[in-house]
């Protein structure tokens, strides 16, 4: 036992110093990997939000003014029979009043004050409210639904026989449009018959008791699709791209507008409109919403968004900011 020796103080200090150096190196490697992971995650979130935002905008902009086989006829062959006063809600009434076959695209530039009030959107800092100074665009179109093709010859101007009226969830008070290759008419449904696949309309929701034309095989019934794209605030104090869309509730209730945040981290939303000012079928100039002289002469739309990475990442979020821009042709106005 007298020959047993331990470590000296100097040896212990050297061992502790070496261990501390190794631990520090391991910590630095771990910290670097964590930051790299956070950066990659933030970039992925930023790219995902940018991609989703661009897809939503592209889908809606390309469909501007679609009215089935009558697309491109504008107001000359389109009639809106809907009795606006029967559909409650200022936003719904504003949208229905504007639905005339020409104003399928309504631009808003550098929004302020009550610019979007007609569509039920307040400009402010609260959740769901629009960000002042950004752009917005209101889009009118229709969307198809499998089962609403006209079946057989129409012999009654206030009824439409379709393949399967139950396939699309329409009901009394739904807002629809019937279209063939020569005319299109918008109307409000009075009742439907699942047993006979018949849609009926009268003067209850419409300005007249019947349609102006008869529709046979080859015609189609569509659902009205109105949407507003704008930059809004969410409940987390962040900003994102919002889509406010007209929805047809279940049952026999009236359609109403509902807002959804479709992409987070959007800091700026800018829209330019490619207008054909010489009626030669091509874009002559790109202008902001205030510079558009006639909305039915807009053939394409340029959109740009600034997208920020996830604020929850352990890095400076200002380092994760990029812009996405695209130009979308309005397919229904191309020659």
Beta bridge partner(s), residue 141: 225
Taking residue 100's Cβ as centre, other Cβ atoms within 10 Å add up to 16
Sheet holding 191-193, edge to edge: 159-161, 198-200, 191-193
- Which residues fall within 8 angstroms of residue 199, CB to CB, at 6 or more apart? 159, 160, 161, 162, 165, 170, 176, 189, 192, 221
> Residue 335: what pLDDT?
64
Residue 240's closest CA among 216, 269, 259, 265?
265
Which pair of structure tokens corresponds to residue 232?
């809004």
Burial 14-53 (b: 16+ CB within 10 A, else e): eeeeeeeeeeeeeeeeeeeeeeeebbebbbebbeebbebb
Q: Is 84 exposed, middle or buried (0-12, 13-18, 19+ CB in 10 A)?
A: middle
> Residue 254: what pLDDT?
86
> Residue 3: what pLDDT?
62
Indicate the DSSP class of residue 123.
Answer: B
Alpha-carbon distance of 214 to 204, in angstroms, equals 20
> Residue 54: what pLDDT?
93
Which pair of structure tokens corresponds to residue 197?
């696949």
* Sign of CA pseudo-dihedral 329, 55, 288, 121: positive
> Residue 257: what pLDDT?
92
Which pair of structure tokens corresponds to residue 7?
């470590």
> Residue 5: what pLDDT?
65
> Residue 39: what pLDDT?
64
Residue range 183-222, pLDDT digits in tens: 899 999 999 998 899 999 999 999 999 999 889 888 999 9
Tokens 């103080």, residue located = 9
Which pair of structure tokens corresponds to residue 202?
């009268």
> Residue 227: what pLDDT?
94
Domain map (residue ranges) of the chain: 44-333
Indicate the DSSP class of residue 236.
Answer: T
Alpha-carbon distance of 120 to 128, in angstroms, equals 11
Indicate the DSSP class of residue 28.
Answer: H
> Residue 314: what pLDDT?
43
Alpha-carbon distance of 286 to 282, in angstroms, equals 11
| Regions of the chain short of the pLDDT cut 50 | 311-315, 317
Which pair of structure tokens corresponds to residue 22?
């190794």
Residue 110's closest CA among 132, 138, 139?
132
């Amino acid at each position: 036992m007298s020959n047993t020796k331990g470590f000296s103080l100097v040896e212990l200090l050297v061992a502790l110093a070496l261990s501390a150096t190794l631990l520090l190196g391991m910590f630095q490697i771990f910290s670097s990997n964590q930051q790299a992971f956070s950066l990659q995650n933030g970039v992925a979130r930023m790219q995902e939000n940018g991609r989703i935002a661009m897809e939503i905008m592209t889908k809606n902009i390309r469909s501007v003014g679609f009215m089935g086989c009558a697309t491109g006829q504008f107001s000359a062959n389109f009639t809106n029979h809907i009795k606006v006063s029967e559909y409650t809600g200022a936003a719904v009434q504003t949208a229905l009043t504007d639905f005339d076959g020409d104003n399928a695209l309504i631009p808003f530039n550098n929004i302020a004050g009550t610019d979007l009030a007609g569509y039920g959107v307040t400009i402010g800092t609260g959740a769901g409210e629009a960000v002042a100074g950004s752009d917005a665009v209101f889009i009118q179109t229709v969307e198809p639904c499998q089962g609403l093709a006209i079946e057989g010859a129409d012999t009654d101007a206030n009824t439409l026989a379709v393949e399967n009226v139950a396939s699309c969830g329409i009901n009394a008070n739904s807002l629809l449009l019937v279209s063939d290759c020569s005319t299109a008419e918008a109307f409000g449904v009075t009742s439907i018959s699942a047993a006979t696949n018949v849609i009926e309309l009268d003067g209850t929701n419409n300005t007249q008791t019947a349609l102006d034309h008869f529709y046979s095989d080859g015609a189609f019934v569509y659902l009205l699709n109105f949407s507003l794209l704008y930059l809004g605030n969410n409940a987390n104090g962040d900003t994102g791209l919002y889509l406010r869309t007209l929805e047809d509730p279940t049952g026999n209730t009236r359609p109403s507008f509902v807002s959804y945040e479709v992409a987070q981290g959007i800091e700026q939303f800018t829209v330019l409109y490619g207008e054909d000012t010489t009626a030669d079928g091509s874009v002559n100039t790109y202008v902001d919403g205030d510079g558009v002289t006639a909305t039915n002469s807009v053939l394409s739309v340029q959109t740009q968004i600034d997208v920020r990475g996830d604020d929850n990442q352990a890095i400076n979020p200002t380092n994760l900011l990029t812009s996405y821009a695209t130009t979308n042709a309005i397919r229904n106005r191309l020659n």
